[in-house]
Amino acid sequence: AAHYKLGPLQLDAAYEGNRNIESEGQTWENNTYLVGVQGWFENGISFFAQYKYMEADASNGVNEKQDAMSAGLMYTTGDWQYKLGYAANFDLERDGKTIDNTADDVLSAQIMYFVDPSAVLYARARTLDFGDGASQVDDDTKARWKSADYDEFSVGVEYYF
C-alpha cells in the first residue's frame, strides 16, 4: 500500500494478491487493486472515496472480474460524529460476459458518541441490497451463495484495546 498526503487530502493506492485459494472445485489466483482519496477539514467535515478492481483466475481457465466502490461523508463536532456511507459491487464479469443481477450495494447511516478515546456508543442503520448471484464455476446449475436483502438497525458500545 502507498499513501501520499497533500494538505488535508490523502491519496491511497494498494495491491493484494492471493494464490492457491480452493473454492468451487478449483484453485484460484486473485488480484485486487485499490485507489482512493480521503480528506479531513478543520470544520469537522471529512470524507473518503475508493475504487476497487478485482480479478480472479480459476485453474479450469475461468476468468472473473468485478469493480467496486465506496464513499462516505462524516461530520464530527465535539464528542459526536455523524456518518453517511455507500458501497457497491458492480455486476460480475465472467470470461468477458457481464452476468446481470450480480451487483450489491449498501447504504448506511451512523451516529457515534466518543465516551473516551477507546470507547464509543453508536446507533447504526443500513439497508443491504444483494444481487441474485452467479452460478458456480464447477456446476453452472448451482448458484453461488449470496445473502438475502435486509435492513438493519443496531445500538451498542464498541471498545478498542
Find the range with the poorest average confidence among 14-18, 39-43, 51-55, 99-103: 99-103
CA distances to 23, 106, 152 from 130, in Å: 21, 9, 14
Find the range with the poorest average confidence among 8-12, 52-56, 75-79, 99-103: 99-103
Please, what is the average pLDDT of the chain?
92
pTM of the model: 0.84
Asked whether 104 and 136 are in contact (CB, 8 A), the reply is no
pLDDT tops 70 at residue 136? no
What pLDDT sits at residue 138? 63
Query: In whole angstroms, what is the distance from residue 161 CA to residue 158 CA?
Result: 10
As a whole-number percent, the residues of the chain with pLDDT over 70 amount to: 94
